[in-house]
Amino acid sequence: DIQMTQSPPTLSASVGDRVTITCRASQSISIWLAWHQQKPGKAPKLLIYGASNLESGVPSRFSASGSGTEFTLTISSLQPDDFATYYCQHYSGYPWTFGQGTKVEIK
């Protein structure tokens, strides 16, 4: 199985900060990488698919890049609504696996 490793596990930041989350795959997954956002007690929401494509309706302050084994999610200017847990997920064959999550907290 492909292992997905996110860093950092927790990130403390202030409104307006630029934040970056990293996701590494244990083997190449090309661009078959998605990012999901989850707020406490809520269902996850797709933000990014195909490593860098913004899902419809997602604010443009979110961006992502990468291919192969190294991927990043960047929030250009953190907003109050962005404090949540972010998960990367590969879909390059089965089983799909997720990173352990990065919790973005208020500093």
Partner 1 sequence: EVQLVESGGGLVQPGGSLRLSCAASGFTFPDYWMSWLRQAPGKGLEWVANINQDGSEKYYVDSVKGRFTISRDNAKNSLYLQMNSLRGEDTAVYYCAKKGGTVNYWGQGTLVTVSS
Q: List residues binding partner 1 (CB under 8 A).
A: 32, 34, 36, 38, 42-46, 49-50, 55, 87, 89, 91, 94-101
Nearest distance from residue 53's CB to partner 1, in Å? 9
In terms of CB distance, is 76 or 97 closer to partner 1? 97
Tokens 């929401």, located at residue:
45
**14 is written with which tokens?**
């202030």
CA distance readout (Å), 51 to 13, 20, 27, 82, 102: 24, 14, 15, 19, 17
* Length in residues, the chain: 107
CB nearer partner 1, residue 14 or residue 94: 94
CA distance 58 to 60: 6
- Give me the least distance between CB of 106 and partner 1, in Å please: 20
Q: How far is the CB of 16 from partner 1 (least distance, A)?
A: 28
Residue placing its CB nearer to partner 1 in the complex, 19 or 90: 90
**Are 104 and 84 in contact, with CB atoms under 8 Å apart?**
yes
Q: Which amino acid is at 52?
A: S
> Shortest distance, CB of residue 97 to partner 1, whole angstroms?
7
Nearer Cβ to partner 1, position 28 or 77? 28
